[in-house]
Amino acid sequence: MRTFIGEKKHVTSDKEKHVYYYYDKSREIEQISREVYKKRDEEIHHPRGYRGGPKYKNIKRFVYRGFEGKLPVGVLKKARRGWGFTSAWKAFAKYVDETIKVKEVVIVKTGLSVYNIQMSRLTLTADSMAAIQRTLANNKQKHALELANNITDLLHSFFPEQIAKSKRRYIPNSISSSLSSWGNQLTEFSDADKDAIRQLFEKLSLRGDLLNASLLAETKQVIDSRYLQETLTKFNKIMEADNDTPALEKKWQVFLRDNSWIFNSIFAQPVILHKEEAYVGGKNLDNRNGKVTDFLIKNSLSNNVAFLEIKTHKAELVDSKLYRGNDVYGCSRDLAGAVVQVLNQRDNFQKEFHSHTYKNKSSGILETFNSKCVVLAGQVADLDNGQLSSFELFRNNSKDVEILTFDELCNKVERIQQLVKGETGKRTTSKPPSKNITQAAKQKGRTAA
């Protein structure tokens, strides 16, 4: 007589659900197999080992919701096979069961994938299961092909005349499966990875069927915006410094040198950085007292030079004490000195223009047509209303020297980023000076009063 092997409804089935047990007398198996609810689309599977008992060390049950009896990929569909994950999912099952010690696996048709550590419950959606299935299948295919290639190449080394070397080919979905594990940190890529990505992008950019002009423009927009954001992040990091020191001024010099495209915003014309800390003349007979400008800028079209003198964002723009009455502040010593300094540099350069240019052809052609002078210093945000008024009167009356503050420069870069993003018309993150008075500025006002 043939021994019954399979599922049977248990006599304890009630109004809520049907309970099924699995029987195999030859292996002495008699244990709960699954539970199917009557009034909601849900069933519970109890995974079973080959000889009965638990199939996994920690996983006790699988819960399926919303599948209407048609189970998703990656799981066994027949009671005789013991339920649970398929053999192709062995590595995934081992990780879930033994590494993170999940006790209950819940699979839903739609919703969210959630890992509840406290309840030892892993919830996956049908889409998540499909993605895992693709990754596992792709890895299996890659490993099989890699093994075949390695064996072929090994035999080729033994019998080069009889066996040809393997022909490597790309496995579809390899890139997508690899990038699915990327944590979005550039440090995860090796130098070889970065070179491969650059070479791939260069090749793909030449193929009109993959990257058309519109997609390339969108990609450039994303890259430009990201670059500008990183520049602003570095800019704001330096702005956090509180003490006005020579080291801080050097940091600004290095930042502007490394981001020389910003000079186009400062000078509002096509310019290039000609030289950092350039000698502009002024030495006397004993070879002393030479003049050096922080940055010598050259117009890329006319070759006309310009002079940029920088201080720091902590440099004072006006005196902290009133000069006359209750609304007149004098120009600070730092700002007045910077203005005279940059004018002196231009004066020395123009006096020795011939020796700078025609005697030194290696430095490139330079011209000086009423060359522009710019001082970059301080912050408008550090001024109260009275100080701001005096500062604006002073700089707008400065005929030969343009005075720009660091927060105004930051605002210029922010506006460029908005243009790149197509966000014209929106306000920048910078606040109006009158509403952005720092504690130092408030203290100045109290001291003056």
Mean pLDDT of the chain: 80
Residues 322 and 401 in one domain: yes
Residues 317 and 198 in one domain: no
Residues 357 and 408 in one domain: yes
| Tokens of residue 56, six digits | 């996994």
Q: Is residue 227 part of a domain?
A: no
Least confident range from 39-43, 82-86, 175-179, 354-358: namely 354-358
Q: Is residue 147 part of a domain?
A: no
Residues 319 and 404 in one domain: yes
Q: Is the pLDDT of residue 434 over 80?
A: no
CB 21 within 8 A of CB 8: yes
CB 353 within 8 A of CB 280: no
| Domain ranges, residue 205 | 183-211
Residues 440 and 319 in one domain: yes
Q: Is residue 170 part of a domain?
A: no
- pLDDT band at residue 290 using 50, 70 and 90 as cut-offs: very low
Q: Is residue 438 part of a domain?
A: yes
* Pairing relationship of beta strands 5-9 and 17-24 according to DSSP bridges: antiparallel
DSSP code, position 85 = B
CB 79 within 8 A of CB 42: no
CB 142 within 8 A of CB 148: no
pLDDT for residue 163: 87
Residues 345 and 427 in one domain: yes
> In angstroms, rounded to a whole number, what is the distance separating the alpha carbons of residues 255 and 414?
16
Distances (CA, A) of 21 to 5, 32, 64: 11, 4, 18
Alpha helices in 21-125 (DSSP H): 90-94
- pLDDT band at residue 23 using 50, 70 and 90 as cut-offs: very high
Residues 284 and 402 in one domain: yes
Residues 378 and 242 in one domain: yes
- pLDDT band at residue 400 using 50, 70 and 90 as cut-offs: confident
- pLDDT band at residue 347 using 50, 70 and 90 as cut-offs: confident
Distances (CA, A) of 10 to 20, 32, 47, 239, 277: 5, 9, 17, 74, 90
Q: Is residue 415 part of a domain?
A: yes
pTM: 0.46
Residues 394 and 256 in one domain: yes
pLDDT per residue over 203-222, tens digit each? 776 665 666 666 656 666 66
pLDDT per residue over 65-95, tens digit each? 999 989 999 999 999 999 999 999 999 999 9
Q: Is the pLDDT of residue 307 over 50?
A: yes
Residues 289 and 197 in one domain: no
Number of domains in the chain: 3
Mean pLDDT, residues 320-325: 86
Q: Is residue 433 part of a domain?
A: yes
pLDDT for residue 138: 80
Residues 338 and 201 in one domain: no
